[in-house]
Structure 1
Amino acid sequence: MFDPAEVRSHLIEAARARQVFTYGALLGTLGHAFTRPLMRQLCKVLDALDENGRACGEPGLAVLVVRQSDGLPGQGWFVSRTGVYDDLPLEWEGPEARRFTEARQAEAFDYWKAP
């Protein structure tokens, strides 16, 4: 349903612009209205992109996709990164989660900065 190369391209553009997407905005950019089933499919693509990126030494891009309500990735993002990050917060909401998210976003912004 989603072309991983297209999703990756949008996320790299966002990183270069030091911006994030909400789940709904990214789905809209990809030509879809927000639905939970589509969001779950998109999250699978985001997880695969991050896995492939880690294998190449790249920082994650999925952290650039956040909930509209609080600007943080969803619970699934945090849970699926268990074992990936040594400093992963125990809670996926609140100030500790925000600091962690912002640090990971900064890594992506810095890595993909425009030449």
Structure 2
Amino acid sequence: MFDPTEIRALLIETARARQTLTYGALLNLLGHAFTRPLMRQLCKVLDRIDEDGRVVGEPGLAVLVVRQSDGLPGQGWFVSRTGVYDDLPLEWEGTEARAYTQARQAEAFDYWEAP
């Protein structure tokens, strides 16, 4: 349903602008209204994009997609990285999660910085 190439391109543009997108905003850009089933499908694509990028040494892009309520990625973003990254915070909310998220976002911003 979702085209990983299209989403990756949108996220690279977002990184170059040093911005984030909410899950709802990304779904809207893709022509969909926010629903939980669509968000779950989107998250699977985001995980795939990150895994493909990790294999070639790129920082994650899914960290740029955040909840409107607190500006952090959803719980699934943190859980899907368990066992892959050894520096994950113990909680997926709060100060430690925010600092971790901002550091990963800065990596994406810097990596994709427009020449």
| TM-score (normalizing by structure 2) | 0.99
Q: Which moved more, 1:6-15 or 1:81-90?
A: 81-90
Q: Which amino acid aligns with 2:56?
A: C
Unaligned ranges ≥5, structure 1:
none
Counterpart position of 2:99: 99
The size of the alignment, in residue pairs, is: 115
1:62-93 superposed Cα distances (whole Å, 9 cap, x missing partner) = 00000000000000000001122221001000
Partner of 2:72: 72
CA offsets, 1:84-107, max 9 Å, x none?
A: 222100100000000000000000
The aligned counterpart of 1:44 is: 44
- TM-score, reference length from structure 1: 0.99
- Match for residue 25 of structure 1? 25
Residue segments in structure 2 that go unaligned for 5+ positions in a row: none
Distance between the aligned counterparts of 2:58 and 2:41, measured in 1? Answer: 22
Moved over 6 A (4+): none
CA distance in 2, matches of 1:70, 1:44: 21
Q: Which position in structure 2 is the counterpart of 1:83?
A: 83
> SS of 1:70's equivalent?
coil
* 1:53-72 equivalences in 2 (<5 Å): 53-72=53-72
Alpha-carbon distance in 1 for matches of 2:63, 2:94: 16
- Counterpart amino acid of residue 31 in structure 1: G
